[in-house]
């Protein structure tokens, strides 16, 4: 891998902090389902938080999952905001929630994703059932003091490898 590609791989793993996804990919309510399909193919995720401006830290409007978009026609003209599950219908956790409590909410309510929001409704993190399953599958994964997975990157002794 190139240095940049290797850095991207490491950063992707480090995004996962003690079970909380601190920088989830968010989408705008004006995104078309066609664009959403492209994003899904590109990143491999099926569900996304929908925020006012499509960025982390802004007001959460809802969640869009594959269940919301399956079997819909007119994908180029249908917008995410028209099919997403609205924030008023979602189960949310408040900022500061402990991971164990968030995981229990996911289990009890049978959720795929649990948005963590401020009192003002701004998205600060996301907890996903898939990550809960990974923790159960890999309980001995090596983590740092912050609960982030430890990551190693290869280096070499050649002059071209010194940038690493």
Question: What pLDDT digit, counting tens, does each position of 95-148 carry?
Answer: 999 988 999 999 999 999 999 999 999 999 999 888 777 777 777 888 776 667
> Who has greater pLDDT, 16 or 137?
137
Render pLDDT for 50-96 as a digit per residue (tens, 0 to 9): 999 999 999 999 999 999 999 999 999 999 999 999 999 999 999 99
Phi-psi label, residue 149: left if phi above 0, alpha if psi -120 to 50, beta otherwise: beta
d(CA 50, CA 39): 13
Residues 91, 104: contact at Cβ < 8 Å?
no
Residue listed under structure tokens 């994703």: 113
pLDDT of residue 14: 63
DSSP secondary structure code for residue 65 in this structure = -
Rounded (10°) CA dihedral 116, 79, 30, 12: 50
User: Is it the case that residue 164 has pLDDT exceeding 70?
Assistant: no
């Amino acid at each position: 891998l190139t240095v940049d590609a290797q850095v991207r791989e490491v950063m992707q793993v480090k995004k996962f902090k003690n079970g909380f996804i601190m920088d989830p990919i968010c989408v705008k309510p004006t995104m078309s389902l066609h664009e959403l399909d492209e994003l899904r193919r590109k990143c491999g995720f099926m569900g996304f938080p929908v925020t006012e401006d499509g960025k982390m830290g802004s007001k959460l409007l809802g969640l869009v999952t594959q269940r919301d978009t399956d079997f819909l026609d007119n994908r180029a003209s249908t917008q995410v905001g028209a099919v997403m599950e609205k924030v008023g219908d979602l189960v949310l956790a408040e900022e500061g929630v402990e991971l164990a409590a968030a995981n229990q909410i996911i289990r009890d309510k049978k959720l795929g994703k649990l948005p963590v929001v401020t009192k003002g409704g701004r998205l600060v993190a996301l907890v996903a059932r898939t990550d809960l399953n990974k923790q159960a599958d890999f309980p001995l994964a090596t983590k740092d003091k912050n609960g982030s997975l430890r990551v190693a990157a290869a280096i070499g002794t050649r002059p071209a490898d010194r940038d690493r």
